[in-house]
C-alpha cells in the first residue's frame, strides 16, 4: 500500500479485517523507510484500516502489511 501524498492518513480496503487485529508494516521503498517511525495503524475494522502518517508530497512511500489475529 502507498501512503496518500499531501495527507496525514491513508485508508486501506480490507476483505476480512478485525478491530482486535495486529497490523505490521514493512517499508518497501527508501521513502517509506524514512517515515517508518511516524507511520502506524490507528484503526482496523471489518472492511478497512486507517494508517496515520506525516503529511508529505512524496508519492512513493510504499509499505507491505501483515494483519495478524483479532
pLDDT of residue 9: 98
pLDDT of residue 24: 96
Residues 23-65 have pLDDT tens digits of 999 999 999 999 999 999 999 999 999 999 999 999 999 999 9
| Residue 3 backbone dihedrals phi, psi, to 5 degrees | -65, 140
Give the predicted TM-score (pTM) of the model: 0.90
pLDDT of residue 23: 94
What residue has cell string 476480512? 16
Q: Please state, in angstroms and rounded to a whole number, the distance separating the CA atoms of residues 50 and 9.
A: 7
Distance of CA 58 to the CA centre of its chain: 15
Amino acid at each position: 500500500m502507498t501512503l496518500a501524498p499531501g495527507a496525514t492518513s491513508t485508508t486501506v480496503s480490507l476483505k476480512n479485517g478485525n478491530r482486535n487485529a495486529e497490523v505490521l508494516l514493512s517499508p518497501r521503498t527508501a521513502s517509506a523507510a524514512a517515515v517508518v517511525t511516524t507511520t502506524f495503524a490507528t484503526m482496523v475494522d471489518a472492511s478497512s484500516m486507517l494508517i496515520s502518517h506525516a503529511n508529505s508530497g512524496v508519492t512513493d512511500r510504499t509499505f507491505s502489511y501483515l494483519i495478524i489475529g483479532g
